[in-house]
Amino acid sequence: MTTKKETTAYLLAFIHGLKQSGLKEIVISPGSRSTPLALLVYRDPKIKCYVNVDERSAAFFALGLAKGTGQPVGLLYTSGTAAANYYPAICEAEATQVPLVVLTADRPPEALGVGAPQTMNQNSLYGSHVKKYLGMAVPEAGETFERYSFWHGCESVSIAKKSPKGPVHINFPLREPLLPDLTQTFSRTYNRKEIEPEKNGNLEVPELSSWLTKKGLIIVGRELTIAQAKQLLELSEILGWPITGDPLSNLSSCAKISNNYLAHTDLIFSANKLASPEVIWQFGNLPLSKNLMLYLKQQEVSYVLIDERAQWKDWLHLGNYFLTIDPMTFCEIIKSVKKSLPHATCDKNWLIDWQEKSKRAHQVIESILTPTTFNESNVSKRLFDLLKQNETLFLSNSNAIRFIDRLAEPAKQAFSIYGNRGVNGIDGIISTAAGVSMSKKHHLFLLIGDLALFHDMNGLQIVKELELSITIVVLNNNGGGIFSFLPQSELETSLFEPLFSTPLNLELKKVADLYHGSYKKPRSMGEFEDMIHQSRENSTWTLIEISGTQKEPVDCWYKMVKEFGNSYD
C-alpha cells in the first residue's frame, strides 16, 4: 500500500523537476485519479493554473498558450477516456512543433485488465504523435524514487522544448489514498542545468573555473576511438584527476600515456571508506563496474554529464549539470580555460591516493593470477597483453568483457576494442565481430563465452565464406557462467541449473570443423600463448577452447576482493 506521505513526496519531486526546466503554466481538467497531482500543482505559487472541465477544449487552449509564448505548457487530467479527448490537440502540436507536457493519471497495474471502472490502456496512447512516452513507476518511499521522479520532471520539459519542439506524454499510475498531504513541502536540494555551447563555441558554465581546483573524477562509459581516448587521458593529466572507463572506451588500450588511468576499477571500488570527489564528469553512459556504480550512488557532488547527443545516460539520476557538447570540443575548452588559470590546480594528494589503490589492485591480481595460472580469468587477462598495435579486440557481453574490465592491465600497444553494449545482450556477437573484421586490415580477436557462441553460431558461416582473419577464444564453462556471480546462484541446483546455468555440452571441435575453422585446446598458459601467436598466421579462422567451470571465476574474484579489502580495513 502506498502511503499519503510517499505519494506526496514523489509528486512534489516531479513538480520540482518541471519547474527546474522552466514549466510555468498548466491546464487542468479535474477528475478523481489525478487528485494528488492536481492539488499539488494548483497550490504551487510558481505555476499558473487554468481549469477547463472539457478535455478537448482544454488541450487546444494549452496548445494556444504554448503557441503564443513559445514555451512549454502542461496538461493534466484524469484516467480513462479523458485522455482520448486530448488526442486532436496533441496531433496538432506534433505537426506544428508546439511544446506540450501531457500528464495523465492512471490506475495502478493491479487495476488494469480486470474491469476496474474508468480504466483503459493508456500506455503509448498517442503513438508516434509525441516525442517521448514514459510510464512512471508507482510512487514509493525513499530518495532513490524522489531523484527518479525529479529527473523525469526535468527531462519531460527539456525534451518538449528542444528542437524540433513537440509534445511529451508522462503517465502516472497512482494508488489510493488520492488526497495528498498538503502540509508537506519539498525539502531536497536537487538542481539541474542543461547547457549548450553558444554559436561562437563558448561554453557558458560559471562553475567551470572553480571545478578545476576541486577533487575530480572522470568516468567514461561510451565507445571512443583511440584518438578520443588519448585526448581524455590528456585531459586527466591537465587536471590532475583520476580517470576510469570500461573496456569499450579504449582508455585501457592506450593508457600507458597517462599515470592517471585507474585500471581494475571494480576491485578498487569494492573497498570500504573510499574518499569522495567534489566533482564528477561522466562521458556517455556509466562504465561497466557495479562497484563503481554503488560508490557513485553514495556521492553528493557536482555531477556533470557530457554528451553531444543530449542522450543523458543518467540512470542513477545524479546529474545536475548536462552539457550538450562533444568530448573533444570539451577537452579543447578545458585546455583553454586551464591555460588562462595556471594556478587553478587540484590537491595532488587526491590523485596520489587513487594511484596507490590502483597499484595495490594490480599487486593483488598478480599474486592470485600468477604467470602459470591457467583458467578463464587469467587467459582473458593474458589475451589483452598479447595483442599488437593496430589489431582489434571484440568483447562479448557477460563474463568476457567483465574479465577484461576487472583484470587486464593497460595495454603495451594501442589497439581498438569493440563490443555490443547498447542493450548488453549476447545475441549476434559473432556476426558483429565479423562485420568489424571485414572493415579492418588487421587480425581480430574475439573473446566470447560458449552460450554467446551458441546464440550466433550461424555467424561463423560468413567468417568462413569471407575467409576472415579471426581468432575466437571461447570461455567454455558449459552454460551461463555470469549467473554464478548473481543472487540466482543461491537457488537449489534443481532450479539453478535448468533456468540459469543452462549447460549446453557443446563439442566445439565439431563446431570449428563444420565451419572449416582450425580448432585448438590448450592445457597450459604457455600453450595458449603459442596458439595465439600461431593463429595470426593461420590460413583459416581459429577457435581456441578454454575449458573452465562456472564456479572458478567467482571464487577467484572474491578472493581478490577479500585480499584487497583487507589492505584498507
In the chain, how many domains are there? 3
CATH of the domain at 281: 3.40.50.1220
pLDDT at 14 over 70: yes
Of 315, 344, 361, the last residue of a domain is 361
CA neighbor of 103 nearest in space, from 43, 149, 148, 68: 149
How far is 155 from 18, CA to CA, in rounded Å? 8
First-to-last C-alpha distance (Å) of the chain: 41
Same domain, 16 and 144: yes
The C-alpha cell 566445439 sits at 508
> Do the bridges between strand 48-51 and strand 73-77 make them parallel or antiparallel, or are there none, so unpaired?
unpaired
Mean pLDDT of 413-423: 90
Same domain, 457 and 500: yes
How far is 303 from 387, CA to CA, in rounded Å? 35
Mean pLDDT of 525-538: 96
The C-alpha cell 560468413 sits at 462
pLDDT at 190 over 90: no
How far is 543 from 447, CA to CA, in rounded Å? 10
DSSP string, 442-464: S-EEEEEEHHHHHHTGGGHHHHH
Same domain, 288 and 380: no
Answer yes or no: is 561 within a domain. no
* The three grid cell numbers given for residue 536, joined into one nine-digit string: 595470426
- 128-174 pLDDT, tens per residue? 999 999 999 999 999 999 999 999 999 999 999 999 999 999 999 99
Same domain, 398 and 507: yes
CA neighbor of 6 nearest in space, from 127, 124, 166, 176: 176
Of 173, 194, 226, the last residue of a domain is 173
Answer yes or no: is 181 within a domain. no
> Do the bridges between strand 48-51 and strand 193-195 make them parallel or antiparallel, or are there none, so unpaired?
unpaired
Answer yes or no: is 66 within a domain. yes
User: From the centroid of its chain, how far is CA 263?
Assistant: 19
* The three grid cell numbers given for residue 46, joined into one nine-digit string: 510558481
How far is 538 from 561, CA to CA, in rounded Å? 39
Q: Which helix (H) or strand (E) holds 106?
A: strand 100-106
How far is 547 from 477, CA to CA, in rounded Å? 6
pLDDT at res. 241: 97
Q: For residue 255, which amino acid is it?
A: A
H helices within 139-289, ranges in order? 143-161, 208-211, 226-239, 265-268
Question: Which region, left, alpha or beta, applies to residue 404 given φ > 0 means left and ψ of -120 to 50 means alpha?
Answer: alpha
- 463-518 pLDDT, tens per residue? 999 999 999 999 999 998 888 888 888 888 898 888 888 999 999 999 999 999 99
CA neighbor of 124 nearest in space, from 85, 60, 191, 169: 169
CA neighbor of 294 nearest in space, from 316, 321, 311, 310: 316
Quick one: DSSP state of residue 43? T
Mean pLDDT of 450-466: 95
Question: Which region, left, alpha or beta, applies to residue 235 given φ > 0 means left and ψ of -120 to 50 means alpha?
Answer: alpha
Same domain, 331 and 375: no
Answer yes or no: is 294 within a domain. yes
pLDDT at res. 310: 86
b/e burial code for range 157-170 (CB count within 10 A of at least 16 → b): bbbbbeeebbbbbb
Q: Tell me the three state secondary structure of residue 310.
A: coil
- Give yes or no for a contact between 5 and 181, defined as CB atoms under 8 angstroms apart: yes
- 315-324 pLDDT, tens per residue? 899 999 999 9
Answer yes or no: is 184 within a domain. no
Of 158, 173, 188, the last residue of a domain is 173
Instruction: Give CA separation, 128 vs 82, 98, 290, in Å.
Output: 19, 15, 35
Answer yes or no: is 490 within a domain. yes
Same domain, 354 and 374: no
- 206-252 pLDDT, tens per residue? 888 899 999 999 999 999 999 999 999 999 999 999 999 999 999 99
Same domain, 402 and 421: yes
What rounded mean pLDDT belongs to the chain?
93
Read off φ and ψ for residue 529, nearest 5 degrees: -60, -40
Same domain, 282 and 298: yes
pLDDT at 199 over 80: no
How far is 393 from 443, CA to CA, in rounded Å? 9
Residue 339 pLDDT level (bands cut at 50, 70, 90)? confident
In sequence order, what are the beta bridge partners of 472?
446, 543
Residue 344 pLDDT level (bands cut at 50, 70, 90)? confident
Residue 568 pLDDT level (bands cut at 50, 70, 90)? confident
Residue-number span of the structural domain to which 385 is assigned: 369-550
In sequence order, what are the beta bridge partners of 305?
282, 322
CATH of the domain at 153: 3.40.50.970
Same domain, 342 and 374: no
How far is 507 from 409, CA to CA, in rounded Å? 32
Which stretches of 368-454 are assigned E, i.e. beta strand?
392-395, 416-419, 444-449
Answer yes or no: is 560 within a domain. no
In sequence order, what are the beta bridge partners of 48?
25
Same domain, 165 and 211: no
How far is 14 from 150, CA to CA, in rounded Å? 4
How far is 432 from 459, CA to CA, in rounded Å? 8
Q: Which helix (H) or strand (E) holds 225?
A: none
Model pTM? 0.88
pLDDT at 254 over 90: no
Same domain, 323 and 409: no
Which range is least confidently modeled, 68-72, 112-116, 211-215? 112-116
pLDDT at res. 200: 59
Angle subtended at Cα 31 by Cα 26 and Cα 37, rounded to the nearest 5 degrees: 50
- Give yes or no for a contact between 495 and 547, defined as CB atoms under 8 angstroms apart: no
Same domain, 373 and 315: no
Q: For residue 184, which amino acid is it?
A: Q
Assign 3-class secondary structure to 499-566: HHHCCCCCCHHHHHHHCCCEEECCCCHHHHHHHHHHHCCCCCCEEEEEECCCCHHHHHHHHHHHHHHH
pLDDT at 412 over 90: no
- Give yes or no for a contact between 319 and 311, defined as CB atoms under 8 angstroms apart: no
How far is 310 from 293, CA to CA, in rounded Å? 21
The rounded percent of the chain whose pLDDT value lies above 90 is 79
Answer yes or no: is 567 within a domain. no
